[in-house]
Amino acid sequence: MKQGFDSEEYLKIQSEKIEERINMFDKLYLEFGGKIFDDYHAARVLPGFKPDAKIKLLERLKDISEVIFCISASDIEKSKIRADYGISYELELIRLIENLQNLGISINSVVITLYEGQASVEHLRKLLRSRKVKTYIHTPTKGYPNDIELIVSENGYGKNPYIETTKKLVVITAPGPNSGKLGTCLSQLYHEHKKGIKAGYAKFETFPVWDLSLMHPVNVAYEAATADLGDINMIDSFHLEAYGENAVNYNRDLSTFPIVKNILQKITGKEIYKSPTDMGVNMIGRCIIDDDVVRRAAEGEIIRRYYSALSDYKQELCSLETVERIEIMMNKLGLNSKDRQVVEPALEKEKKEKKNVVAIELPNGKIITGKESELLSAASAAIINALKEITNIPDEVYLLSPSMLEAIFKTKKNTSYRTSYCLNVQEVLIALSICSATNPIIEKMISKIAELRGCEAHSTYIIEKSELNVVKNLGINLTCEPKM
């Protein structure tokens, strides 16, 4: 795929921007939004962006930084699950801490926010203590959001324990949204200024990109990705009034800015920022090197989000309103679901064969299909056919002998209560791996699996979650028709 984004330049100028902001204060509390690891959304809409870019950034700054994690007590109590990983916020928190520690990045502590006696909190504290990670408890701040005098007082932020920090940069992050990052930053600023330390606050989020237009597909793709949350990109009216130039932000930041501005002014005694955009340090827009490539990639992501929302709605995992929001975005950009090249070949093959079908578009633009059979799922068949094409193996060549497939099929049938016993992608990959030990052709084919990363695919039915996760792990961008 042609590159539209320069990751190396991004790491350079982004770290310089953060260091520039650090130098404005004795200490900087940086609210770190979005995913720290595995930012595949950014990688899809900005071809060339590395999914581990934020980690690389933290590694560059690790000598002067430490990390505080926030997690909401209500999310712990509800065992809230991260849909993208299928694990709870607590487990995601542990995963993040361990991964950062393995990279030599200093973890200061975990703040459990909005604590109101939730019983499940103590279990997490025990887990963290066993890992020698400090925890702090923050209760809801009295007077928030309207009573500034109470908020910025000993009965407001003063009720929260002070977190001892030693580095110039303190990164505040979380395993998910609405975890209390901003409140923790402001609470720390209150305590720091009481101690005579001129601490500051800034925000680092990848999207929306403030210096791209409101209707740029990259910004619209972010809005599509958060359609279930109701986030809306808007022109930063505060920035426009202060500087006479357009900048893009989203509704929640714009609505809370007057409150944050007043709290910051009350704590520090001066006006630091004139707009939500001023608070940000994001330089990602400056590193787009081919706008046409980025636009096409982002448009593709919007259509993928539309199909994802349709499938979720079919399974009662999201509202019709979410689907309609993305439809409106597509209409504004003149996009159609059939603009996705793999859709029509999949539907035509299904109509002809009267079987479930998956179509995959290879890097050279050729579209390969696979249909469901008694032995193979449609996704398994499509991936085998795609790998055959990439490796120049004739279609009539059997990679897995029918007798071997039949044996696996019978074992699965005898040990499962399912109504369909055809082999899914994971089972086929395991079988191929076993056969590769004695078959050099299969060994060569398996070596080409990485070439499927970034390929587009479409299914004529909703693939079950376990198989879908394997396909995603292969890096294939799969969408599904909203049909069970």
pLDDT in tens, 422-434: 788 998 888 888 8
Nearest to 226 by CA among 336, 334, 333, 83: 83
Q: At what angle do helices 53-61 and 7-22 cross, to 10 degrees?
A: 40
Q: How far is CA 203 from CA 35, 200, 349, 444, in A?
A: 14, 11, 49, 47
CA 254 to chain centre: 22
Q: Please calculate the CA angle 262-152-194 and round it to the nearest 5 degrees.
A: 110
Domains of the chain by start residue, with CATH: 7-213+237-286 (3.10.630.10), 341-480 (3.40.140.40)
Per residue in 18-33, pLDDT (tens digit) is 999 999 999 999 999 8
Q: How many residues does the chain have?
A: 484
Phi and psi torsions of 288, nearest 5°: -75, 120
Q: Which tokens sit at 294?
A: 């980025």
Three-state DSSP class for residue 288: strand
Three-state DSSP class for residue 423: strand
Phi and psi torsions of 71, nearest 5°: -145, 135
DSSP 343-402: HHHHHHHHHHH-S-EEEEE-TTS-EEEEE--SSB-HHHHHHHHHHHHHHT--TT--SS-H
For residues 354 and 351, give the distance between their C-alpha atoms in angstroms, rounded to a whole number: 5
Amino acid at 258: P
Nearest to 277 by CA among 308, 223, 235: 235
For residues 5 and 27, give the distance between their C-alpha atoms in angstroms, rounded to a whole number: 31
Token match 């699965």: residue?
Answer: 412
What letters, b where the CB count within 10 A reaches 16 and e where it falls short, cover 356-380?
A: bbbbbbbeeeebbbbbbeebbbbbb
Please report how many Cα atoms fall inside a 13 Å half-sphere around the Cα of residue 311, on the Cβ side: 20
- Return the bridge partners of 477, or none: 456
DSSP 291-328: HHHHHHHHHHHHHHHHHHHHHHHHTTSS-HHHHHHHHH
For residues 249 and 82, give the distance between their C-alpha atoms in angstroms, rounded to a whole number: 24
Sheet with strand 107-113: strands edge to edge: 134-137, 107-113, 65-72, 169-173, 27-32, 199-204
DSSP state of 132: T
Instruction: Indicate left, alpha or beta for 362 from its phi (over 0: left) and psi (-120 to 50: alpha).
Output: beta
Residues with Cβ < 8 Å from 403, sequence gap 6 or more? Answer: none
| Residues of the chain below pLDDT 70 | 79-87, 401-402, 405, 409, 412-421
pLDDT score, position 71: 94
